Structure 1
Amino acid sequence: MSADLSPSTGEYYDSDPYTEQDHDMLEYQILWREDPSQPPVADRRAADLMLRQGLLDTAALMDGPWEATCGHWIDDSGTPDVWGLRRIDVLRATRRLATKVRAHRFVRTADSLAAADHIPALVEVETGELPEEAAP
């Protein structure tokens, strides 16, 4: 899960989709719990590292309406995705490129929903020169 915050709320752009889940595969997506009866918490450490290194989640940066990128898929036997709706497909921009990001959107069409279990994401970037990089 992304660790980026929504500029408008100051809270995580992605809410924790795992808090109400309980299945065997969950342990690979959450923080370790000594007591498995405690509620699961999404592991955002990798995303936090990317954020601290200047790789920004463009959806959070644009603060647009939240959309799931996966979880809509129903398999051939009619079983829905065990993980539910969530946004795990994240496009990132460096701090320098972030100044040129103008839009972030998802391609949610009948064809894209039927074609894959993940929704394509697009970022629109202003063309032209990037601002000067700050000295280290």
Structure 2
Amino acid sequence: MSPADNRVLTADLPAIPRKRYFAIGEVSELCDVKPHVLRYWEQEFPQLKPVKRRGNRRYYQQDDVLMVRRIRSLLYEQGFTIGGARQRLKEMARGGRENDPNPSGPVRSRPSGNRRREEIKELRDELESLLRLFPE
């Protein structure tokens, strides 16, 4: 996603921190949407699938946070109904992105060796911090 496209999704919203997993409360603050609305949207939009762990706790990833912002934009800013937003997201996924101000995701190139090592280290650190949250 280009920086210009990201600005459309982040108008008046805080920047998304660089981390792997977000709790529902964090996503709520990052997207300015109440937690109960996020849980409802999970039922209505098949594209929104946070990872669920012990105790049915939800952990959203970067793509999930971007999807929530996209859904929020469609519903609150562009005036779509739930059904209309669901249909629009399907069209975007099928390739109707040419005229879309909010593309469904970035086109990524293969990361360099150094960048890949950095990403693996970040992922390992985040996994270790999650393991500390869930002692055996």
Normalization by structure 2: what TM-score? 0.27
Q: Which has the higher contact order (CA 8 A, sep 6+)?
A: 2
Normalization by structure 1: what TM-score? 0.27
Radius of gyration: which is bigger?
Answer: 1
Q: Greater strand share, 1 or 2?
A: 1
